[in-house]
Amino acid sequence: MKPEFNNGRFFVSPILGCEGRCLYCYLIINNYKKPYANTFDIDDTIEYMKKHKDFVSGKNGTIISVGAWGDLFPSSNELRRHSIRWIKELLSLENPLQIMSKNELTDEEIDEITASIKYKNQLLYSTTIITFDFFGTIEKGLSDPFKRLLVLKKFAKKAVPINIMIKPFIPNITKTEMFIKELENMPEIHCVVGKLYVDEAILNNLIRNEELKEIIGNNFFDDTGQISCVKDNILNTYNDKVIEDFISQLIGKNIKVFKKSSCVNANILKQKNKNMEKYKSEGFCMNCGNCM
For the cut 90, the answer to whether the pLDDT of residue 32 exceeds it is: no
pLDDT for res 104: 96
For the cut 80, the answer to whether the pLDDT of residue 102 exceeds it is: yes
More confident residue, 196 or 246: 246
pLDDT for res 115: 98
276-289 per-position pLDDT tens digit: 999 999 889 999 99
Any domain includes 42: yes
How high is the mean pLDDT of the chain? Answer: 89
Any domain includes 203: no
Mean pLDDT of 132-153: 93
Any domain includes 13: yes
Furthest-apart CA pair in the chain: how many Å?
A: 57
Any domain includes 220: no
pLDDT for res 21: 85
- H or E stretch at 264: helix 261-268
Tell me what percent of the chain is helix, strand and coil, each rounded to the nearest 5.
35, 15, 45
pLDDT for res 286: 94
pLDDT for res 209: 78
The tally of domains found in the chain comes to 1
Of the pLDDT bands very low, low, confident and very high (cuts 50, 70, 90), residue 28 is low
For the cut 90, the answer to whether the pLDDT of residue 243 exceeds it is: no
Distance CA 75, CA 237 (A): 33
Any domain includes 154: yes
Any domain includes 275: yes
Q: Residues of the chain with pLDDT > 70: what percent?
A: 90
Any domain includes 109: yes
For the cut 90, the answer to whether the pLDDT of residue 107 exceeds it is: yes
What pTM, to 2 d.p., does this model score?
0.91
CA atoms 144, 145, 150, 155: torsion sign: positive
Domain that residue 60 falls in: 4-195+258-282
- H or E stretch at 281: helix 276-282
CA atoms 71, 283, 265, 94: torsion sign: positive
For the cut 60, the answer to whether the pLDDT of residue 29 exceeds it is: no
Any domain includes 161: yes
What's 189's domain CATH number?
A: 3.20.20.70
pLDDT for res 54: 95
Of the pLDDT bands very low, low, confident and very high (cuts 50, 70, 90), residue 30 is low
DSSP state of 111: H
**Contact partners, residue 67, CB within 8 Å, separation at least 6:** 13, 14, 15, 83, 99, 100, 101
More confident residue, 84 or 34: 84
